[in-house]
């Protein structure tokens, strides 16, 4: 009897020891590489040129996109980011002392960007894309910080996140970070050109392109970089940059990539949905050399073809119905043969955006319409009506199926349930 108790006790002690080791290991994984960070001289942070560079970098990172609520004060936070784990509220990053980051130092800011930890030591949610921002240099981090110190301070208290248990706990975050996050610089690869290295730095760092254009696992960790993925709110699909049949630009001219990011439309492509926001508030402001560098890097992403589209033909009845709706609502702009008017109304024949395996983006466009982003190069964009005002789910499914299976397009049919599933 006593022997059994002693054995049980030993087992408990061993288990406790293992747990303690695991906790220590996870803690170490979360904190390694952090050292007491050097301070940045006040004179440097007040430098006009540094602040201006910071403003440019803030555009490159589209900080304003998440840290500003629609119509609200710039950088004052309050926008909720929908994720599968709940809603993460973007905080106030204006220099207000009480509610913003007015009490932070440049070293605090760097720790948030590079290590994903807040001034008070809390682990940050990766909805703040520090797995990408960790690549930003200390010098650029200081420039961003100098710029953010220069914007108007706004007193606006942060709203609490609305995350389901256990995702809202620091312990869950620590485990997530142990699995999926490594603080790391991005040392230049000398066998590539300076342009390529600059492009990689912008794309993988501040641009945080991988945050959307990658596949994620059930815990929200990046599983397949550049393989495309549903946006965290499951509304739009960010197409693969590794696949030329999705959004890969490996076979594009550099000029066309630059034009798409700068202007928002080219003769053969246009941005929509979340990418329209990226062009509108971020990439249109980047310099030509930086856009060219990004294009140079993106062209070298390893090719990985997406699995072939489901070529199963839809029922003839459905295609006839879809064709009628197309003639009635779409042909005036996109043409009977789906050829569109290059640069004005996009062609649908051979259009990568309409043949993606997931029909989300096509359904979004049909349902909500939209204008291309207004940019310096395209100040008065053309637009599409929100056909969700006139067509029901069945009709949207029929016309989407017709578009996906006409003029050489051979993507899978879309059911009314698919349409309903798209948020």
Partner 1 sequence: MRLSVRSLIAVGLLAHGALSAAQGPAGREVSDTMAERMQACVMCHGREGRATNAGYFPRIAGKPAGYLLSQLQNFRDGRRQNATMSHLMQHLSDDYLRAIADYFASLDLPYPAAQASSLSADQQRVAQTLVFKGAPDRQIPACVACHGANMAGRLPAMPGLLTLPPDYLISQLGAWRTGQRHAAPPDCMAEVAMRLTPGEVDIVARWLSAQTLPTGTRPQGVDGPPLPLRCGSGER
* Chain residues in the site for partner 1 (CB under 8 A): 69-72, 267, 276-277, 279-280, 331-333, 335-337, 339-345, 368-374, 379-390
CB 29 within 8 A of CB 178: yes
Which CB, 138 or 368, lies closer to partner 1? 368
Cα separation, 355 vs 412, whole angstroms? 8
Which CB, 232 or 373, lies closer to partner 1? 373
Q: How far is the CB of 330 from partner 1 (least distance, A)?
A: 10
Q: How far is the CB of 385 from partner 1 (least distance, A)?
A: 4
Q: How far is the CB of 302 from partner 1 (least distance, A)?
A: 32
Tokens representing residue 100 in the block? 């913003």
Treating both helix axes as pointing N-terminal to C-terminal, what angle do 288-298 and 194-204 enclose, rounded to 10 degrees? 90
Which CB, 146 or 363, lies closer to partner 1? 363
Residue 290, φ and ψ in degrees, nearest 5:
-70, -40
Which CB, 205 or 273, lies closer to partner 1? 273
Q: How far is the CB of 337 from partner 1 (least distance, A)?
A: 5
Residue owning tokens 């256990």: 166
Q: How far is the CB of 328 from partner 1 (least distance, A)?
A: 11
Which CB, 150 or 409, lies closer to partner 1? 409
Q: In the Cβ-directed half-sphere of 371, how many Cα atoms lie within 13 Å?
A: 10
Which CB, 297 or 345, lies closer to partner 1? 345
Which CB, 102 or 370, lies closer to partner 1? 370
- End-to-end Cα, the chain, rounded Å: 62
Residue 98 contacts by C-beta under 8 Å, 6 or more apart in sequence? Answer: 155
Q: How far is the CB of 335 from partner 1 (least distance, A)?
A: 3
Which CB, 158 or 268, lies closer to partner 1? 268
Tokens representing residue 271 in the block? 């941005």
Report the C-alpha dihedral over residues 200, 204, 210, 212, rounded to 10 degrees: -110
Q: Cβ–Cβ contacts within 10 Å for residue 312, how many?
A: 10
Which CB, 28 or 341, lies closer to partner 1? 341
Determine the distance from the C-alpha atom of residue 403 to the mean position of all C-alpha atoms in its chain, rounded to a whole number. Answer: 27
Cα separation, 260 vs 131, whole angstroms? 26
Q: How far is the CB of 279 from partner 1 (least distance, A)?
A: 8
CB 248 within 8 A of CB 303: yes
Alpha helices in 251-392 (DSSP H): 254-263, 274-281, 288-298, 316-329, 331-334, 360-368
Q: How far is the CB of 398 from partner 1 (least distance, A)?
A: 18
Using CA atoms, how far residue 41 sits from 44, 46, 179, in Å, is 5, 9, 35
Q: How far is the CB of 276 from partner 1 (least distance, A)?
A: 5
Parallel, antiparallel, or unpaired: how do β-strands 162-163 and 237-238 relate? unpaired
């Amino acid at each position: 009897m006593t022997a059994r108790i002693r054995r049980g006790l030993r087992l408990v002690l061993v288990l406790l020891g293992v747990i303690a080791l695991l906790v220590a290991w996870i803690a170490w994984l979360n904190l390694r590489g952090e050292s007491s960070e050097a301070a940045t001289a006040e004179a440097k942070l007040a430098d006009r040129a540094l602040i201006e560079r910071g403003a440019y970098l803030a555009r490159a990172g589209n900080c304003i996109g998440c840290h500003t609520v629609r119509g609200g004060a710039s950088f004052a936070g309050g926008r909720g980011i929908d994720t599968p784990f709940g809603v993460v509220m973007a905080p106030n990053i204006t220099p207000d002392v009480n509610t913003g980051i007015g009490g932070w130092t440049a070293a605090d800011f760097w720790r948030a960007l590079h290590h994903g930890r807040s001034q008070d030591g809390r682990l940050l949610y990766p909805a703040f894309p520090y797995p990408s921002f960790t690549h930003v240099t200390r010098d650029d981090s200081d420039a961003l910080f100098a710029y953010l110190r220069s914007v108007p301070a706004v007193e606006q208290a942060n709203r609490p996140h609305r995350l389901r248990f256990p995702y809202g706990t620091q312990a869950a975050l620590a485990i997530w970070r142990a699995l999926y996050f490594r603080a790391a610089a991005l040392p230049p690869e000398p066998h590539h050109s300076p342009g390529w290295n600059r492009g990689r730095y912008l794309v993988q760092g501040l641009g945080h392109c991988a945050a959307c254009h990658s596949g994620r696992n059930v815990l929200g960790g990046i599983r397949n970089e550049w393989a495309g993925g549903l946006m965290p709110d499951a509304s739009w699909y960010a197409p693969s940059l590794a696949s030329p049949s999705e959004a890969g630009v490996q076979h594009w001219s550099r000029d066309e990539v630059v034009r798409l990011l700068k202007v928002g439309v080219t003769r053969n492509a246009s941005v929509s949905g979340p990418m329209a926001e990226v062009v509108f508030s971020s990439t249109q402001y980047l310099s030509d050399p930086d856009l060219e560098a990004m294009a140079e890097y993106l062209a070298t992403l390893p090719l990985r073809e997406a699995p072939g589209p489901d070529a199963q033909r839809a029922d003839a009845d459905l295609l006839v119905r879809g064709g009628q709706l197309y003639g009635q609502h779409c042909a005036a702009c996109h043409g009977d043969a789906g050829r569109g008017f290059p640069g004005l109304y996009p062609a649908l024949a051979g259009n990568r955006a309409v043949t993606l395996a997931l029909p989300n983006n096509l359904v979004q466009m049909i349902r909500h319409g939209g204008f291309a982003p207004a940019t310096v190069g395209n100040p008065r964009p053309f637009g599409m009506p929100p056909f969700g005002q006139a067509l029901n789910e069945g009709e949207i499914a029929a016309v989407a199926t017709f578009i996906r299976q006409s003029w050489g397009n051979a993507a899978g049919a879309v059911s009314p349930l698919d349409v309903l599933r798209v948020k």
